[in-house]
Amino acid sequence: MEDKKNLDRLHDVVIEEFLAMSPEEVMEFTTQEDLDSVKSNLEDAIAQVGRARLARAKAAAATDARRPRPVGSTGGGDALRAARANDADFDKKLTLAARKGGASYEADRVGIEEDLDELRRWHEDEDSV
């Protein structure tokens, strides 16, 4: 463990010394080709990070697009069916009675539609802020 600390300190000192050098002093230890290679490697790394960020953003957008959207209570049944069809995770979270559409589903329907209406109002409140 002590060796790692010593190596980390040595690394920090070398970096500090390098950063404190003038451009002329740096050129005594390297060539223009080496500097061009480092610049190229940095540009490649920046591009790679950008591609990774774009891929994560696309995945998040696709997930968000499948998320159920709050709607008015008049079309609650249709909205619930659409939400279930578009989002498997949401569908799994519904109660067994709601998924089977049995008699208890009809009893729960009003409550589900009220919940969807409340979510719609929350969504509108967030948009107005």
Q: Is the pLDDT of residue 96 over 70?
A: no
Per mean pLDDT, which range of 6-15, 57-66, 82-91 is the poorest?
A: 82-91
Does residue 19 or residue 128 have the better pLDDT? 19
CB atoms within 10 A of CB 14: 10
pLDDT digits (tens, 9 = 90+) for 17-49: 888 999 888 888 888 899 899 899 999 999 999
H/E segment holding residue 3: helix 2-20
What's the pLDDT score for residue 87? 75
User: Exposure pattern of 34-66 as b/e (b: 16+ CB <10 Å)?
Assistant: eeeeeeeeeeeeeeeeeeeeeeeeeeeeeeeee
Domain ranges of the chain: 2-63, 70-128
110-127: pLDDT as tens digits: 777 778 888 888 877 776
